[in-house]
Structure 1
Amino acid sequence: MRGILAGWDSLDPALRWLMRINLIALTTATLLLASAYLLGFRHTSVEIDLGVMAVSIVLMLVTPPLCRRYGAPAAIVGLTLSALIFAVGGTWATPNLSPLTALLTMVPLLVGFAYLGRRWIQVLSVVAVAGSAGVAALAEWRRTEAVSEEWWINAVVIAASLPAGVAVVVLLVRSAYARLQGQSDELVESRRRVVEVADAARRSLERDLHDGAQQRLLASSVTIERARKELRAGRHDSAAALLDQLAADNREIVTELRELARGIYPPLLTERGLVAALQSTARRSAVPVTLDVADVERTDPQVEAAAYFCILEALTNAAKHSGAAEVHVTLRGRPHLSFTVCDDGRGFDRGAVDAGGLLGMEARVAAAGGRLTLDTGPGRGTVVRGEFAP
């Protein structure tokens, strides 16, 4: 079963958990109702509900392979179809289930809010409103032409189906609350980190300008003054040599400033996108870089910038601190943008180093709706992984 559901591993952990809980609840309800059927409660309404539940389970099991390619939308479409089949079929067989089945038509909308765009939410809103109204109308019509008027048959079906359905709704609400609470805590923490990162970035920029371009410009001023004195003294050859040196220094200053500007925000990232910017960075890297790219298209500029600067920071750390001989960068565009930077360096103990750089990377990725993880240790290299929700 784990292999069949492996496609859900690409989903957000909270969505993956909800999908599995829904599948477990459906399977449990089906087994309970099947047990009742085998024990002698054999009736048309029970058979219809069993068939509906089986179809709903099949629809859920179809989604994992699709999630590898399409991500959260595939999971929620499968959840929507499963909920609608269960709602209509369950209401047809047992009209007394209508309060539960009407509620189930709203579940995909509640789940989708955190993972889908506006158009998807609009469609799911229509499904929730029309579905719940349709289920309620169907229940009232079927009450007069019920498959069975025996109270115990309805009681068996409701007893087998209701707990699982209620459990799904309760867990969904609890998960949504926990998610909102977690996002609130993350927002407070991210604001603090953004301030820290911005201050650190300003200090770093000031240091780079002071130690680099500013010192070179001061040296150029000295060279200009020396060349002026040589000219006044009539030593034209010496002055020409100083001017040649000045021209060379000026070219180095321009190159240094370009590199500094590229680190602030590379024009190539804006003009041609993430892949082109990373290819350029890989060519200039002090450590050999292997770039593996697949299915990557232009996306949100904030996401592209977050991915680029985190990869750039990881490459810089590998070159300065890890002693790595090679770095492998993997970039994937489906089901959502993700990247991995893996080096063969000496690694490090996270508790023994300054976490400022890592906090900056995490804050940048989180601000773009993503998540960053770090896997490292002394003697086993470093792996940085980032993924952005669609």
Structure 2
Amino acid sequence: MRGLLSGWDGLDPALRWLLRINLIALTSATILLGAAYLAGFKHTAVEIDLAVMVVSIVLMLVTPPLCRRYGAPAAIIGLTLSACLFAAGGTWATPNLAPLTVLLTMVPLLVGFPYLTRPWIRALMVVAVVGSAGVAALGEWRRVDNLNEIWWVNAVVVAVSLPPGVAVVVFLVRDAYTRLRDQSVQLAESRTRVVEVADAARRSIERDLHDGAQQRLLAMSVTIERARKELLAGRHESATALMGQLAATNREVLTELRELARGIYPPLLTERGLVAALQSTARRSTVPVTLDVADFERPSRQVEVAAYFCILEALTNAAKHSGATEVLITVRGLPHLSFVVSDDGRGFDRGAVDPGGLLGMEARAAAAGGTLRLETAPGWGTTLRGEFPTSPPPGQWTPEVNDR
């Protein structure tokens, strides 16, 4: 079963958990109702409910392979079809289930809101409104027209079907509350991290300017003064040599400033995207880099920037501290953006180093809806894995962010 559902592994953990709860609830209800049917509670309403539940389970099991290609939308569509079928079929067979089945038509909208684009959300709104009204009307019509005269038929179907359905709704509400609470905690933590990371970035830029360009500019001012004195003394050959030295130093300063500007924000990332920026970074790296990209679709700007700087930080650390002879960068774009940066260096003990750099990367990834996982140990190299399962695709309804 785990292999059959492995297509859900790439989804957001909360969505994956809800899909599995829904599948478990449907399967449990089907088994219980089937057992009741075999035990002698045989009736047309029970048979219809069994058929509807089996088809709903099949619809859910079709989605994992599709999720590998299409991500969360495939799972939400499968959940919508399953919920609507269960609502209509269950209401037709047992009108007493109408209060529950009306709620089930709204579940896909509540589940899919964080993961779908605006057109899909509007479509699910229509499904929720029209579906709930239709199911309610169907229930009233069936209740008057064909209410089961045998009391135990309704009792058995309601007793078996109602608890799993209510469980799905309860878990959905609980999950929404838990996520809201966790997001509040994460927001408070992220504010602190953002300030810390911004301060660290400013200190790093100040240090790079002081140790690099500033020192070279001071040396150039000394050289200019020496060249001036040589000219006044009539030693033109010596002055020419000093001017040549100044030209070489000026080129080095320009190179350092360009590198520093790329580290702040590379223009190539905006103009041509993540892959082009990584290719440029790989060519300039002091450690040989192999870049492996497949199924790449350019993500949102926020995700692209977060992924780039996390990869850049990992590559910089590998070049400065790991003693690595090779770095492999793997980027995958489907069903969502993910990357792996691994080196063959000496590795390190996480408890023995300053976690500031990793915290900065985690804060940047979290701000874009992603997660990072670091795997390292002394003598075993270092691997950084990043995923952005909740990243909004182009065109999704997301809050506007003003850059300053």
Band of TM-score, shorter chain: over 0.9
> Do the aligned partners of 1:93 and 1:146 also contact (CA within 8 Å) in 2?
no
- What secondary structure does 2:182 align onto? helix
Bigger mean CA deviation after superposition, 298-307 or 268-277: 298-307
Q: Which residue of 1 aligns with 2:338?
A: 338
Equivalent in the alignment of 2:396: none
Bigger CA drift: 124-133 or 271-280?
A: 124-133
Residues 248-285 of structure 1 deviation map (CA, whole Å, 9 limit, x = unaligned): 00010111100111111111111111000000101111
Q: Within the alignment, does 1:291 sit opposite 2:288 as a pair? A: no
Shift of 1:226: 0.4
Tell me if 1:66 matches 2:92.
Answer: no
1:83-162 counterparts in 2 under 5 A? 83-146=83-146, 148-162=148-162
Residue 304 of structure 2 corresponds to residue 307 of structure 1: no
Q: Tell me how far apart the structure 2 counterparts of residues 109 and 180 of structure 1 sit (CA, whole Å).
A: 17
For the pair 1:54 / 2:61, whether they are aligned, the reply is: no
Say yes or no: does 1:358 pair with 2:358.
yes
Q: TM-score, normalised by structure 2?
A: 0.95
Instruction: Spell out the pairing of 1:1-390 with structure 2 (5 A cutoff).
Output: 1-146=1-146, 148-388=148-388, 389-390=390-391
Distance 1:121 1:353 in 2: 46
**Structure 2: where are the runs of 5+ without partners?**
392-404
Distance 2:350 2:146 in 1: 66
Displacement of 1:209 in angstroms is 0.5
Return the letter of the residue paired with 1:271.
Answer: E
Q: Deviations over 1:306-326 (max 9, x none)?
A: 111100000000111111111
The alpha-carbon deviation at position 106 of structure 1 amounts to 0.8
Post-superposition Cα deviations, 1:299-349, rounded to whole Å, max 9, x if no partner, equal 211111111110000000011111111111111111111111111112111
C-alpha displacement of 1:147: 6.2
Shift of 1:162: 0.6
Amino acid at match of 1:162: L
Give me the whole-angstrom Cα distance separating, in 1, the residues matched to 2:93 and 2:203: 69
Residues 4-57 of structure 1: per-residue CA shift (max 9 Å, x gap): 101010111111111111001000000000001001111100000000000000
Shift of residue 234, structure 1, vs aligned partner: 0.3
Greater than 2 Å deviation, 4+ residue runs: none
Amino acid at match of 1:269: L
Q: In the alignment, residue 70 of structure 1 is paired with which amino acid?
A: Y
Letter in 1 for 2:98: S
Q: Distance in 1 between matches of 2:89 and 2:143?
A: 14
Equivalent AA in structure 2 for residue 27 of structure 1? T
For residue 286 of structure 1, give the secondary structure of its aligned residue in structure 2. Answer: coil
Q: CA deviation at 1:145?
A: 2.2
Q: Matches of 2:7 and 2:366 in 1, distance apart?
A: 24
Report the Cα distance in structure 2 between the residues aligned to 1:280 and 1:342, rounded to whole angstroms.
18
What is the distance in 1 between the residues matched to 2:373 and 2:106? 34
Summarize the Cα distance change of 1:161–1:153 in structure 2 as closer, same or farther, 3 Å threshold. same
Q: Is the 8 A contact 1:93 1:147 kept in 2?
A: no
Q: Aligned partner of 1:3: which letter?
A: G
Q: TM-score, structure 1 length as denominator? A: 0.98
SS of 1:252's equivalent? helix
CA–CA separation in structure 2 for the residues paired with 1:323 and 1:88? 64
Give the whole-Å Cα distance in 2 for the aligned partners of 1:231 and 1:7. Answer: 76
Identity of aligned residues (%): 79
Amino acid at match of 2:185: D
2:260 partner amino acid: L
Distance in 2 between the 1:77 and 1:350 partners?
42
Q: Is the 8 A contact 1:94 1:146 kept in 2?
A: no
The answer to whether the 8 Å contact 2:95/2:147 transfers is: no
Distance 1:182 1:113 in 2: 18
| Aligned-pair CA distance for 1:374 | 1.1
**RMSD (Å) for aligned C-alpha atoms:** 0.9
Q: Residue deviations 1:54-87, cap 9 Å, x none?
A: 0000000000001111111111110010000000
Give the counterpart letter for 2:107 in structure 1: V
Greater Cα offset, 143-152 or 210-219: 143-152
- Give the Å deviation of 1:387: 1.2
Aligned mates of 1:31, 1:157 — CA distance in 2: 12
The code of the aligned residue for 2:36 comes to: A
| Contact 2:327-2:343 at 8 Å conserved across structures | yes
1:153 and 1:75 map into 2 onto residues whose CA distance is 33
Moved more, 304-313 or 293-302: 293-302
Partners of 2:377 and 2:19 in 1: CA distance: 34
Say whether the 8 Å CA contact 2:32–2:160 is kept in structure 1.
yes
- What's the offset of the Cα at 1:362? 0.6
C-alpha contact (below 8 Å) 1:337/1:387 kept by paired residues: yes
Question: Is the Cα–Cα contact under 8 Å of residues 297 and 334 in structure 2 kept in the other structure?
Answer: no
